[in-house]
């Protein structure tokens, strides 16, 4: 090796230290990612696993959410709705807010309720004596289209885009 002065040795030393620090940081990141619980969502709980004690589908979820709200645990309620239904944060919060305010009487939509050719499933009875289209029409007339979409999703389990198309088609 040719004669290396103190400046060259310092530069080489710094490069080696930076490379070692980069590798160590990468390893730490990989270990943390491997240790993190899976964030993938399984929309339907595994068979035989009810998730929480006393769970009986959408109605059981609604009771659990109301119980959490009664304990002042709104954030936990929103998290539970998101985990159990696959709703996004805003939708789950809206569901919990509506349930807390008494504006919502139907259970949360479950992925298993995505299509019901004969109308809503038996465990989701129609509320208020009016059919879904009439209630959507009333909500739209009062300028509450978002609430109408939420109502459609809650009663049918439609995806948000499908619910918007349904609400838009009601005149």
User: What's the whole-number mean pLDDT along residues 146-166?
Assistant: 86
pTM over 0.75: no
52-92 confidence digits (pLDDT tens) = 444 545 667 888 888 898 899 999 988 988 888 777 888 88
Cβ neighbours around 22 below 10 Å, total? 10
Q: Please state whether 84 falls in left (phi above 0), alpha (psi between -120 and 50) or beta.
A: alpha
> Is the predicted pLDDT of residue 41 greater than 80, yes or no?
no
Mean pLDDT of the chain: 74
Complete DSSP assignment for 6-63: HHHHHHHHHHHHHHHHHHHHHHHHHHHHHHSPP----SSPPTT--SSTT-BTHHHHHH
118-155 confidence digits (pLDDT tens) = 444 444 444 444 688 888 888 898 888 888 888 888 88
Q: Which residues pair with 58 in a beta bridge?
A: 56
pLDDT at position 52 is 42
The percent of residues in the chain predicted with pLDDT above 70, rounded, is 70
> Is the predicted pLDDT of residue 45 greater than 50, yes or no?
no
Write down how long the chain is: 171
Higher pLDDT, 156 or 25: 25
Contacts 24+ apart (CB under 8 A), 91-98: 91/150, 91/153, 91/160, 94/146, 94/150, 95/65, 95/150, 95/154, 96/65, 96/69, 98/147, 98/150
């Amino acid at each position: 090796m040719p004669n290396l002065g103190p400046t060259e040795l310092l530069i080489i030393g710094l490069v080696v230290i930076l490379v070692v620090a980069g590798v160590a940081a990468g390893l730490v990141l990989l270990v943390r990612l491997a240790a993190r619980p899976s964030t993938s969502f399984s929309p339907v709980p595994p068979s035989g696993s009810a998730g929480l004690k006393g769970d009986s589908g959408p109605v059981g979820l609604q009771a659990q959410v109301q119980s959490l709200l009664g304990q002042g645990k709104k954030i936990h309620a929103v998290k539970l709705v998101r985990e159990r239904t696959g709703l996004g944060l805003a939708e789950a919060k809206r569901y919990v807010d509506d349930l807390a305010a008494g504006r919502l009487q139907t259970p949360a939509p479950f992925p298993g309720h995505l299509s019901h050719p004969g109308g809503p499933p038996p465990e989701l009875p129609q509320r208020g004596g009016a059919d879904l289209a009439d209630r959507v029409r009333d909500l739209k007339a009062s300028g509450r289209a978002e609430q109408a979409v939420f109502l459609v999703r809650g009663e049918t389990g439609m995806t948000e885009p499908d619910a918007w198309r349904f609400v838009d088609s009601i005149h």
